[in-house]
Amino acid sequence: GAVVSQHPSWVICKSGTSVKIECRSLDFQATTMFWYRQFPKQSLMLMATSNEGSKATYEQGVEKDKFLINHASLTLSTLTVTSAHPEDSSFYICSARDSGTPQHFGDGTRLSIL
Amino acid sequence: AQSVSQHNHHVILSEAASLELGCNYSYGGTVNLFWYVQYPGQHLQLLLKYFSGDPLVKGIKGFEAEFIKSKFSFNLRKPSVQWSDTAEYFCAVTPKGAGKSTFGDGTTLTVKP
């Protein structure tokens, strides 16, 4: 079946650094990718929707300059957390789909900011 | 690591029929459980969740789910479906203590008017 690879699976870094998370569709073209954030004991919260070749659409309350999303190809989207701080520590999960097909989830990235 | 199995890949019902979507998980500890829905052309939305307490959980739009610990199941039910319930439904499991969610493969529900 379709596979979405998310990398890295866990990253620990110092406050103030930037972190890039990759989301790749391995065997299908992902015209749309979603980025979610999950706080402990809570459900997923959609951060943004990205369509290949166009700017991401951010949900209300999500800082565009803080969470940079690039969807430059049909198989890759990246989320960069800029100048990360401890409150940015969370699970970040991407999902991808082609038009008219089901959504497939990555395994998530656990981000820990010290 | 936890895993989630959704038995039905595609369910087709007529309006007013009753719905039950199966979800089983495997994990050695305690978990939080979720059902999400994705309507055509939209992103994922939370239907309902179980953290603790009454194992019968009621969610939005008339959906409910029952957590049966002995069976490691969290099946989704609705007494009478509508055409607007046509969507993809995902079951997810999160280990208690800040673990990440693991999703099932999803069940596509098609409701015929």
Give the per-residue pLDDT at A45.
Answer: 82
Q: Are B51 and B67 in contact (CB under 8 A)?
A: no
Instruction: Write out chain B's pLDDT in tens, 113 residues.
Output: 778 999 888 999 999 999 999 999 998 888 889 999 988 877 678 899 898 999 999 999 999 999 999 999 999 999 999 999 999 999 998 877 655 678 888 899 999 99
Give the per-residue pLDDT at B13.
Answer: 97
Q: Which of A34, A44, A59, A109 to mutate to test the interface with B (most CBs of B within 10 A)?
A: A44
Residue in the structure block whose two tokens are 């998310």: A6
**Whether A43 contacts chain B with CB within 8 A:** yes
Give the per-residue pLDDT at B99.
Answer: 54
Give the per-residue pLDDT at B62.
Answer: 96
Give the per-residue pLDDT at B68.
Answer: 96
- The nearest alpha carbon in chain B to A96 belongs to B43
pLDDT < 70 stretches in chain A: 1-2, 41-43, 100-103
Q: Are A102 and A3 in contact (CB under 8 A)?
A: no
| Residue among A34, A107, A108 minimizing CB distance to B43 | A34
The one-letter code for the residue type at B71 is: K
d(CA B28, CA B1): 9
**∠ at Cα B91 (B75, B94), nearest 5°?**
110
Helix-strand-coil split of chain B, %, nearest 5: 10, 50, 40
Collect all residues of chain A within an 8 Å Cβ-Cβ radius of residue B100: 38, 91, 93, 107-108, 110
